[in-house]
Amino acid sequence: MALQLQMGSCESTELVPGLPEEIGLDCLTRVPYTAHGIASRVCRRWHELLQSKEFYHHRKKSGHTHKVACLVQALPGTNKSSTERKRGKPPSYGITVFDPVGVGTWERLDPVPKYPDGLPQFCQLASCEGKLVVMGGWDPVSYNPVTDVFVYDFTTSQWRQGADMPAKRSFFATGAYEGRVCVAGGHDEYKNASRSAWVYDLRRDKWDELTQLSQERDECEGTVIGDEFWVVSGYDTESQGVFEGSADVYAFGLGGWRRVDGVWEPGQCPRSCVGVRRDGKLVSWAESDSAVRVGTCGIMLGARTLVTGSACQGAPQGLYMVEMEKDEKHGKLVRISVPHEFSGFVRSGCWVEI
């Protein structure tokens, strides 16, 4: 009904000339997302329909969406050894998109207009309703924390700037649910670990404060399981680097936090490597195979997961696909071929359903 109302608000012409309305809608539903930008320029009605949240949810319900991996990846020509990094600036990073459908395709998004030479260092990614959200990080020139928020629309292939984060923070957890992005924990510009949490409403372009976590959680990791946002591990200000085995869990329906102990290996950094098994239990992708134990990043793409990492510090990073059965703790890694221009170090990432 919502989709019909959206369509009815446009021009009173046939969606596809000569075809019944429902068949015309079915035809547009099957158009791949890569062609949405061109299709939206055909007429005002197509433009409004293709960019509506109702059409996105219709495509999703009809089974015509799929997940792609968005990676914060070092740009070509900026990969440097640890010795070189000590002498100069670190690598510059951009957003790489890996589409696993078929043979797998790779592309790089246009730079964020405010940062044409590279993303803020240690920025965080999340996805909402087919859009990519980039938050926070450090200015790539001054290394000062920033509160910037940017949203990439895959339909229009354009960036827009969103409402700034309420406060400067680094190494926080993120998770998205029904048009909202939650951030929690991390530390402020003075290195003080935080218990605060906020939620960003993508449609309203507005931030609202949530109740606090049970404890400070710096360098925590976020994941969404069902209708719950899990803030995994981290440490408090006085326990630098001593990672917790607990998690704080926010129930979107109930609107409150609960603490869960014993869900993570104490002392193990959770950043970018928290996965969820088919039985709902947490898993560390850094423990899945010796080939990815260092600099690990895991991005769940439905039944399969893209895992990146190295065997040891300074070793080349490999990219793998993993498929886990329900009773498996870790699946088997299968290395994938990557074009040279997309072989840079992957710092973090997320999936986007488009």
Number of C-beta neighbours around residue 23 at 10 A: 11
Same domain, 102 and 213: yes
| Whether residue 115 sits in one domain with residue 41 | no
Asked if 273 and 297 touch (Cβ cutoff 8 Å), the reply is: yes
Distance, in Å, from the CA atom of 346 to the CA atom of 95, rounded to the nearest integer, reads: 10
Q: Which residues contact 30 (CB under 8 A, 6 or more apart)?
A: 64
Q: 3-state DSSP: the chain helix, strand, coil percent, rounded to 5?
A: 15, 35, 50
Whether 339 is covered by a domain: the verdict is no
Per-position DSSP letters for 213-244, written without gaps between them: PSS--BT-EEEEETTEEEEE--B-TTSTT---
Residues 264 and 151 in one domain: yes
Whether 34 and 68 have beta carbons less than 8 Å apart is answered as no
Pairing assessment for the beta strands 274-276 and 228-232 based on DSSP bridges = unpaired
User: Residue 37: what pLDDT?
Assistant: 84
Whether residue 33 is found in the same domain as residue 82: no
Query: Which domain covers residue 260, as residue numbers?
Result: 67-271+344-353
Q: What is the pLDDT of residue 326?
A: 59
Q: What per-residue confidence (pLDDT) applies to 25?
A: 93
Q: Of 11, 34, 61, which residue constitutes the final position of a domain? A: 61
DSSP letter string over 244-274? -S-EEEEETTTTEEEEE-SSS-TT---TTTE
**Burial level of 340, CB count in 10 A (0-12/13-18/19+)?**
exposed
Q: What is the pLDDT of residue 330?
A: 67
Cβ density class 286-307: b for 16+ within 10 Å, e for less:
bbbbebbbebbbbbbbeebbbb
Q: Look at the pTM and tell me if it is higher than 0.85.
A: yes
CA 70 – CA 125 distance, rounded (Å): 8
- Tokens encoding 205: 């372009």
Structure tokens at 77: 């020509």
Q: How many domains does the chain have?
A: 2
251 and 123 together in one domain:
yes
Contacts of residue 128, defined as CB under 8 A and 6 or more positions apart, other chains included, come to 176, 179, 180, 181, 202
Buried b or exposed e, range 50-67, using 16+ CB within 10 angstroms: bebbebbebbeeeeebbb
The answer to whether 137 and 120 are in contact (CB under 8 A) is yes
B/e letters for 3-21, b = 16+ CB within 10 Å, e = fewer, are beebbeebeeeebeeeeee
pLDDT in tens, 17-46: 889 999 999 999 999 888 888 898 889 899
- Is 248 buried (19+), middle (13-18) or exposed (0-12) by CB count in 10 A? buried
Residue 288 lies in a domain: no
Give the domain-ending residue among 40, 61, 82.
61
DSSP string, 134-188: EE--B-TTT--B---EEEEETTTTEEEE-PPPSS--BS-EEEEETTEEEEE--B-
Last residue of a domain, one of 61, 82, 100: 61
Tens of each residue's pLDDT in the chain, 354 residues: 345 434 344 444 789 988 999 999 999 999 988 888 889 888 989 989 998 889 999 999 999 999 999 999 999 876 544 444 455 678 999 999 999 987 789 999 999 999 999 999 999 999 999 999 999 999 999 999 999 999 999 988 999 999 999 999 999 999 999 999 999 999 999 999 999 999 999 999 999 999 999 999 999 999 999 999 999 999 999 999 999 999 999 999 888 999 999 999 999 999 999 999 888 899 999 999 999 999 999 999 988 999 999 999 989 999 999 987 655 666 789 999 999 999 999 999 999 999
pLDDT at 201: 97
* Residues 148 and 249 placed together within one structural domain of the fold: yes
Do 205 and 222 lie in one domain? The reply is: yes
Q: What is the pLDDT of residue 12?
A: 47
Contacts of 280 (CB under 8 A, 6+ apart): 225, 226
